[in-house]
Amino acid sequence: MSRLLHDMNPSVKFIIVTVSMLTLAFFFNPWTPLLFWLGILALQVTMSRINWKLWALMMLPFTLGAVGYLWTTLVFGADTGGEVIGSFAGIQVTDEQWAHAWSLTFRVMAFSTLSLLFAFTTNPVTFVMSLMQQLKISPKIAYGTMVGYQFLPVLKDELTQIRQAQRLRGVGQDRHWWHRIAGTRRLLIPMLAGAVRKAERTAFAMEARGFTGERREEFYRPVKVSGLDYVLAGVFLVVLAASCAGGLVLGN
């Protein structure tokens, strides 16, 4: 299976994702986000290699949210007129409400699928390096974000160690949920102290290696924009344009 989306320049991919989301925000018919959603799924199936089980698990809350949008819009949506096409439990549903509800639903699905496509096919370190090299983001912001991102798995492991150490000492075995909530300070305080120590050591290490926050012209790990990136960007734009045109035709 192809890995074209994994090899695409992260900054170009980020710009395309942002442009696509902003463009879809101006279309209120249900066909445009539906067609774009199906197009993005097709690109992800043919041009990426991801863990689809994990992808489905990550999509589950977004799907539930989309279904919630559909239901609440149909039941509690404002009366915008239109022809009544059905009723449920005494609630009349017009064609305008029906189209608006599906528009919100498919928009949530399209946005969430596009976001997960970016997350599953983009290396965070490469993305930060690309932001500095292509979009000229300040190294202080870029490296600070990257260090904070890399701290997340470390904090998770530290939380597990603190819990195990407290259980060995007979602490944190409260049966009632309110006692466990009140006892979270026993976890947060050691984690906060550990995070401060790690941040201080990281700052000293970066300073010892000559990091000043100034922009550099040369990088140890250069990230470049190739012709393939422009081709893939064109493919995304074709899918977006086709979705917009198809939505306008089907919506009339």
- What interhelical angle do 31-47 and 227-251 show, nearest 10? 150
- pLDDT at res. 177: 59
Residue with tokens 């989306």: 5
Tokens for 106, please give them.
């498919």
Distance CA 52, CA 54 (A): 5
Predicted confidence (pLDDT) per residue in 87-131, tens digit? 665 666 777 777 888 888 999 999 999 999 999 999 888 888 888
- pLDDT at res. 248: 87
Distance CA 214, CA 58 (A): 38
- Among the residues of 91-226, which ranges form H helices? 95-120, 124-133, 139-168, 177-182, 185-208
Within 13 Å and on the Cβ side, how many CA atoms surround 77? 25
Domain ranges of the chain: 4-126+225-251, 137-208
Q: What phi and psi values does residue 20 have, to the nearest 5 degrees?
A: -65, -45
Mean pLDDT for all residues in the chain: 82
State how far the alpha carbon of 99 is from the alpha carbons of 1, 58, 94, 135, in Å: 37, 27, 9, 39
State how far the alpha carbon of 209 is from the alpha carbons of 64, 83, 141, 206, in Å: 47, 69, 18, 5
- pLDDT at res. 125: 84
What is the DSSP code (8-state) at residue 121? T
What value, to the nearest 5°, has the Cα angle with vertex 196 and ends 194 and 199?
Answer: 110
**pLDDT < 50 regions, the chain:** 1
Contact 70, 105 (CB under 8 A): yes
- pLDDT at res. 106: 93
Long-range pairs for 236-240 at CB < 8 Å and ≥24 separation?
236/16, 236/20, 236/43, 237/16, 237/19, 239/36, 239/39, 239/40, 239/43, 240/19, 240/20, 240/23, 240/24, 240/36
Phi-psi region of 213 (alpha: psi -120 to 50; beta: other; left: phi over 0): left
DSSP count for the chain of H helices, then E strands: 10, 2
Give the dihedral sign, CA 170/161/61/78: positive
Distance CA 146, CA 151 (A): 9
Residue with tokens 């699905």: 109
